[in-house]
Amino acid sequence: MLKTALILAGGVGTRIKTKIPKQFLLANSLPILMHTINKFSHLDQTILVIPKNHFEYWHSLCVKYNFLAKHKLVEGGDSRFQSVKNGLKHINKNDVVLIHDGVRPMISKNLINKSIKLVMSNVGVIPITPVTNTIRQINGDESKYLKRSSLFNVQTPQCFNCVDISKAYNQPYIEEFTDDASVFEANGGQIKTIEGEDNNIKITQFKDLKIADMLLKM
């Protein structure tokens, strides 16, 4: 059974407010996406899903930074859901697949390997971290305190048997599909959670880029 990383990098940097899509910005002198791909280099295969109009730019970056990590480019879709679906078509159904955000470059190989060991038939594995801030739910003028001890942040990679998650992605898209686990559960799959990592942040704002740059230099 082979292990495949499916890395999604279709963002355009709206929240980080840069002309260059955030996945191509530099952290510790290397584009963020290259750091991410390197973390999965011990697996059998890496599939990188990016918009078609980013292919040429990505190739130029690989030349500029002499980036030789083996990976296959797949064209992304109009949404994350469609991009995952496109990527899964290029993976053997007998593989274990780890679906990961391209802008989470601090993922550890330890967390990757732990996820792979725990995945089972019709059981997906996702990393989570506890919510530490006080949380309130707002509905119109109504404000209600939520007990944070039962609330957790969800991270990637989210790990599945490819045959199971591919079947789940044959469903029609609905707004409740905010990650791969929600798609999987809607198709009858079960989710096992494991302890995530505080450093496994998603770069969405400029301050996140600064933190990533610092952590990658350590």
Residue 16 has pLDDT above 80, yes or no: no
Q: Quick one: average pLDDT of 190-197?
A: 98
Per-residue confidence (pLDDT) for residue 30, from 0 to 100: 97
CA gap 65, 57 in Å, rounded = 12
Q: Residue 96: which domain range?
A: 3-217
CA gap 71, 73 in Å, rounded = 7
Per-residue confidence (pLDDT) for residue 11, from 0 to 100: 65
Residue 14 has pLDDT above 60, yes or no: no
Per-residue CA distances from 51 to 8, 20, 65, 205 (Å): 10, 13, 21, 21
CA gap 6, 148 in Å, rounded = 31
Residue 18 has pLDDT above 80, yes or no: no
| % the chain with pLDDT above 90 | 91
Per-residue confidence (pLDDT) for residue 17, from 0 to 100: 62
Looking up residue 61, the CATH number of its domain turns out to be 3.90.550.10
CA gap 38, 67 in Å, rounded = 10
pLDDT band, residue 15 (cuts 50/70/90): low
- In single-letter form, the type of residue at position 24 comes to F
Question: Average pLDDT, whole number, for the chain?
Answer: 94
Backbone angles phi, psi at 152, to 5 degrees: -140, 150
Q: How many domains are there within the chain?
A: 1
> Mind listing the pLDDT tens digit for each residue in 106-160?
999 999 999 999 999 999 999 999 999 999 999 999 999 999 999 999 999 999 9
